[in-house]
Amino acid sequence: MVLSDSFLQCAFIGIAFILFSSSISVEAAEVWGVHEQVQGYRNLGRGSCQDSRGKMYSYLQRTMTFPDAITCAQKECERFGNIGAYRGFEFSVGKRCTCLFDVDQAPPVPDSGEAPDYVGGSDGGDGDVFSTTSMPGTTCFASPGSRIEVKAAFALLSSATIFMLL
């Protein structure tokens, strides 16, 4: 099988682009705290958490900020860990902590003058966290039972195929 020079050039440019873009996202991830680890959770990276159908989850969010994702998990969301519908949390660059639940399963919370208010919303997410929206600004942390989609698999498979052709 003979490959044309233009094909080889395109393959080389494609591989260079994949390698270059991944190095940029790693540097950006470190700045945004995407690689922060929280015991008992899996960091899925940037973006809002989604289920296997691409739906986001119902949520509860306190109207206050948290210093980091660890504090968000320990001081806010872990108290919901024994609820079967609890799916994990998101931590934003604005230092907001959002606890996630299956559709319409967010628990009622006490609203008192001593504690900051909560805001919440309902969305169609249901079941294990499967992936993220990949949008910057938020990091998704899945509770231990959730599985993830490996988004880099396609890029890796494409690179391996090109190398095999060379």
Residue 103: per-residue pLDDT: 95
Average pLDDT rounded to a whole number, residues 37-47: 94
CB distance 122 to 104 below 8 Å: yes
Distance, CA of 112 to CA of 117 (rounded, Å): 8
Question: 3-state DSSP call for residue 42?
Answer: strand
pLDDT in tens, 18-41: 434 333 333 334 444 557 899 999
- pTM exceeds 0.85 for this model: no
Contacts of 146 (CB under 8 A, 6+ apart): 42, 87, 88, 128, 129, 130
Paired tokens of 41? 């959770």
Is pLDDT of 74 > 90? yes
CA-nearest of 100, 39, 95 to 67 is 95
CA-nearest of 22, 41, 42, 48 to 125 is 48
